[in-house]
Structure 1
């Protein structure tokens, strides 16, 4: 039976059916929306809010708008949407709500207001409608909201209100310690939200985020006295936003990239630390001499520009052949926060584009060489899927025309004013040309939508990486057609790529724990203290740039190195062989050609192997981390009372240092076959870790230095609870 709300007179089945008709939510999404509202009505969210948990760029806004509509139909009168402190995001949210609820607004059933533009004299007629207020998480906005409810329109305080905290993070529920009193208190914005909710008659609170770790990982007891699973301080409930089949996230960039033959193998383009230094500040001495389209100090930026033109050109050619609308494409350069760096990068990119245009107009050989290099680079990933592919000559002419006809736009985006001027009518960054390059800093990661992104040049390298921040920076995530992904390139240093890979792994491990639910499904957090002992730690102390995720059967190995000279390491290599031979002879636990050794001997062997190699720029082999992980896996985990490590030894190997994709080899262990060393190691490691020791011949023709060396691969036991190990901790 259709009823009406006593407060508004609006039919109770008005909003959601209209939105369902517009957005065509599938059954899974509908279940998420209806369950969320049902739980908001049945659960107490006065102290612990409900959580709508999605992934970066996965359709969270679309979902919470559905929640709004269903909430309106089920007794809620007012929705307050809290956005990040960004004019662009507030505008984007307001315009999207206005667009999606257009029919209901035109029928005077609903009104949408930016709180800072709220009229001073609303009549009862307006206040009887369903209302939506968009509020930036900023002091003036919060004060304006409170004034509207408790001074101008006190009738609103008696209505049923839903707070939706979009991009919920530390700004919403966060604590800081007073240095003098040592008392931990809510930060200013969080306090204002908390006070507002407490003073209202009937309110519910829903947080929407893809980076919930600052919300979940807040221990009620800040001190941990024994090894135990960390049970997150959970919201009152958690609903997971369904992930659609077009979603591209960390799995593509950091997991699939390890799969032979997958397009993801070709997406990462390495940037040197020295080039990032060149891009950080104006220094024309480091770019003088050769023209920029030949200069070695801007190699990656040049590749980013040319690959972008070729990749976008291929997609536009494909769309034209298929009689589809040709899309406009975007490339982001995000390496620094400072405006001086942005101006310098714009200068360099503009000069690169101008020189490329001159070379195209003059038909110079360098133009053809650069386009040809980019074309065959993009072809590596493009040929992994079934698509039509233009000839090189077609793309050469297409890029030439794009440059000559000035189809490339380069824009700096580093202030709220810049973003406001660059937004389109939907609140997204406007794509003015077929090829759009945005250079900026933090403003680019604040939830502003950037369509058709096929290039991401990332160099933010803070001393301490924050989980929530780095994930928000990952603008290459989102709903992406595979045809676009196939021409996408991600540019960063090996060091940053490795950190982002760790963060993805951490994100996945925690998400899995949340999905499993239950108080017995936690995560163990450990650290190494100043006395070199492994101790439990609170997860809010984890330093993400120095963490290792330990999961069942995970491989941990050094990558990105060369050996020292033969004369420098020959004696050490022989010493490792002798230690292994003696250990095999003395071992009391053997299995075919495998045997066990003490953890202390395993650590000694690892240290010797470590001393024989030199790491390449941007790559790290922290031997103390390996020692600590081994200590934890053998001394702190049950069912290994003798602290043993399995050894799986193989010799006379001739692996190449650089693989077929021109990347450092990262799979020296053979994954297939009954007697492949990785297969054997995983069969042995139910409770005891394994150390695969591979003696490589190090041939010069394989780009080594002609010296034998041992390459270790550590394999985590199968029966282990997911564990986050951090070498260092941060201060509260």
Structure 2
């Protein structure tokens, strides 16, 4: 008689799916260190810290899909039966993600929400990995499917998109639709894990009451090419950056020039043995009618070069040869382009008549010369492999929203094998503001990574961390934000002397501080940020004499005095007038607790740049 307990077998492949996934990645020589660290910290948050809502943040196009596959596997191993993966409202992104998740061999296979059993009772006793787009209709149906289930895990990809409450400052209005529906989905006993490269909006909006002290850093893998390469502090540029005045010349001529350079760049890489298909993105506008104009220009350029009998062929061929001379022997480069010119694909993204699945043709290019034209979908979620060229002129009338423009850096990613050949075409003014967005964003994230307390975001007259409508004004301080760093042993005489300027300029005082404090106590990212503005002889920094915190007042708690940190901040603006340079742009001050411990604090003065901090 067979006594096998089939209920212990059906649908069960063991509780080691995560280990199997990590082993499979390592077998492909994929570095898994950051994936493992992120998954471990996430599970610790859920299990040991009982965290209900937090964010996993990383860099744009840094491999978060692979991390999310591993995280889903680990959650299944840990016994969480239903995992909901929310995606932006894009069929192409849904298809791309489902294909990658299913290809990983997860058990159970991921399903779209509308593939779930129509009878909610049939969900019981099984594990489910569910995918759903963030639109109201799909979320309402998903909630109906899962109405009998409790304790859901909700993983929100591109969490700062659509999920925050856009009516947070309008108490007379209900929450925005998507925010309200996701809140319903989470319920009273669910867990929310937001995943994004731009977490400022989630913090400043208090989205789903996420706990910033539990945020998890998903560090980029060793082959990632990102901000430090494309927006370096130095003026030396390691790739082919083409800047121009947006108000001069003819944009059609500029785009055509970029097309010819892309064609020659592909030919160059093939000559160097990097024989793959490559993509060029053109992002000039968010208006679909202008996308059509860009498409027509690319089509006409390719059509002319594809037909030696066309009226404009010889004139365009001569332009091609002039460009080709910058990439090698002109005849060799030009001949390669003409022989292969018909190996092309052109996809209009965000088009008026979208064709699902077309984005995949350029995301993982299927033709030698692949072109993509569009706007918002280009900027969110879709990873473009072998992206070689990007023509980007999209600007704004008001302030640059840092989160939006950071997401538009589609050139970031696994580009190590050809990064020096990458081509970026961009107006000088847009490049300047884009660089500033990244400088401010990096300063905020590095502070967060250092464990310096609640995140502090920066804004100025041209950039803001996120849409002002999404910032919860009831808990966010626009003026008093400050940065503080690791605690160190305090020697009063020594630090009194260090902060006395005497006849030293800013660089000299900073050099002495660097020698006295390590990079936890005075982080390198803050040093780099300060030094960007300094020249020999500069006096832009006010070095305040050290002060006690809580040493003469009883209004602070023992924990606040011990930690030298409080929610409402320590470095008050009235400290400015007591300093050597009250009107200085940058202020540095040490506060000590009378117990032999101290912290360095940094604050920016004036309306040009503001710190924004959530005090909740």
Give yes or no for TM over 0.5. Answer: yes
Distance of 1:551 and 1:335 partners within structure 2: 37
- Aligned with residue 56 of structure 2, among 52, 56, 71: 52
Distance of 1:465 and 1:396 partners within structure 2: 40
Deviation at 1:454, TM superposition (A): 0.9
Check if 1:303 corresponds to 2:257. Answer: yes
Check if 1:339 corresponds to 2:285. Answer: no
Answer 1 or 2: which has greater helix percent: 1
Q: How does 1:663-702 map to 2 (within 5 A)?
A: none
The equivalent of 1:467 in structure 2 is 402
Check if 1:215 corresponds to 2:202. Answer: yes
Check if 1:413 corresponds to 2:349. Answer: yes
The Cα offsets for residues 30-50 of structure 1, whole Å up to 9 and x where unpaired, read as: 23222211221223333xx12
The equivalent of 2:163 in structure 1 is 172
Deviation at 1:632, TM superposition (A): 9.3
Unaligned ranges ≥5, structure 2: 1-5, 462-469, 474-478, 485-500, 508-538, 545-572, 590-599
Q: Secondary structure at the match of 1:206?
A: strand
Deviation at 1:421, TM superposition (A): 4.0
Q: How does 1:520-599 map to 2 (within 5 A)?
A: 523=456
Contact 1:335/1:457, CA 8 A, preserved across alignment: yes
The equivalent of 1:581 in structure 2 is none
Distance of 1:722 and 1:411 partners within structure 2: 47
The equivalent of 2:370 in structure 1 is 436
Deviation at 1:720, TM superposition (A): 6.9
Contact 2:225/2:414, CA 8 A, preserved across alignment: yes
Deviation at 1:508, TM superposition (A): 0.3
The equivalent of 1:267 in structure 2 is 241
- Aligned with residue 36 of structure 2, among 18, 30, 34: 30
Unaligned ranges ≥5, structure 1: 105-109, 221-231, 276-295, 321-325, 380-389, 529-537, 542-546, 553-587, 595-628, 647-684, 689-718
The Cα offsets for residues 668-691 of structure 1, whole Å up to 9 and x where unpaired, read as: xxxxxxxxxxxxxxxxx9969xxx
The equivalent of 2:125 in structure 1 is 128
Distance of 2:322 and 2:353 partners within structure 1: 39
Distance of 1:297 and 1:206 partners within structure 2: 43
Contact 1:269/1:489, CA 8 A, preserved across alignment: no
Contact 2:321/2:331, CA 8 A, preserved across alignment: no
- Aligned with residue 181 of structure 2, among 167, 185, 192: 192
TM-score of the aligned structures, taking structure 2 as reference length: 0.70
The Cα offsets for residues 224-278 of structure 1, whole Å up to 9 and x where unpaired, read as: xxxxxxxx9743512211211221112212116x344x524x3243252355xxx
Contact 1:137/1:171, CA 8 A, preserved across alignment: yes
Root mean square deviation, CA, Å: 4.2
The equivalent of 1:447 in structure 2 is 381
Check if 1:318 corresponds to 2:318. Answer: no
Contact 1:79/1:131, CA 8 A, preserved across alignment: yes
The equivalent of 2:549 in structure 1 is none
Q: Secondary structure at the match of 1:454?
A: strand
Following superposition, which runs of at least 4 residues in structure 1 exceed 6 angstroms of deviation? Answer: 4-9, 359-363, 538-541, 549-552, 629-637, 685-688
Deviation at 1:353, TM superposition (A): 3.0
The equivalent of 1:94 in structure 2 is 98
Q: Secondary structure at the match of 2:109?
A: strand
Check if 1:246 corresponds to 2:251. Answer: no
Contact 2:82/2:127, CA 8 A, preserved across alignment: yes
- Aligned with residue 85 of structure 2, among 78, 81, 84: 81
Distance of 1:369 and 1:334 partners within structure 2: 23
Aligned residue pair count: 500
Contact 1:248/1:480, CA 8 A, preserved across alignment: yes
More displaced 10-residue stretch of structure 1: 412-421 or 80-89: 412-421
Deviation at 1:473, TM superposition (A): 1.5
Distance of 2:390 and 2:379 partners within structure 1: 12
Contact 2:305/2:313, CA 8 A, preserved across alignment: no
Contact 2:362/2:372, CA 8 A, preserved across alignment: no
- Aligned with residue 46 of structure 2, among 37, 40, 45: 40
The Cα offsets for residues 184-210 of structure 1, whole Å up to 9 and x where unpaired, read as: 7532211111122225xx532211111
Compare CA radii of gyration and give the structure with the larger one: 1
The equivalent of 2:21 in structure 1 is 19
Distance of 1:589 and 1:499 partners within structure 2: 37
Contact 1:12/1:74, CA 8 A, preserved across alignment: no
Query: Against the structure 1 CA distance between its residues 191 and 219, is the aligned structure 2 distance closer, same or farther, given a 3 Å change threshold?
Result: closer
Query: Against the structure 1 CA distance between its residues 637 and 252, is the aligned structure 2 distance closer, same or farther, given a 3 Å change threshold?
Result: farther
Q: Secondary structure at the match of 2:377?
A: helix
Distance of 2:152 and 2:260 partners within structure 1: 51
Query: Against the structure 1 CA distance between its residues 434 and 351, is the aligned structure 2 distance closer, same or farther, given a 3 Å change threshold?
Result: same
The equivalent of 2:112 in structure 1 is 114
Q: How does 1:383-398 map to 2 (within 5 A)?
A: 391-398=329-336
Distance of 2:483 and 2:258 partners within structure 1: 35
More displaced 10-residue stretch of structure 1: 162-171 or 428-437: 428-437
The equivalent of 1:660 in structure 2 is none
Distance of 2:503 and 2:161 partners within structure 1: 52
The Cα offsets for residues 594-629 of structure 1, whole Å up to 9 and x where unpaired, read as: 9xxxxxxxxxxxxxxxxxxxxxxxxxxxxxxxxxx9
Contact 1:88/1:419, CA 8 A, preserved across alignment: no
Contact 2:85/2:155, CA 8 A, preserved across alignment: yes
Distance of 1:237 and 1:133 partners within structure 2: 25
Distance of 1:92 and 1:490 partners within structure 2: 26
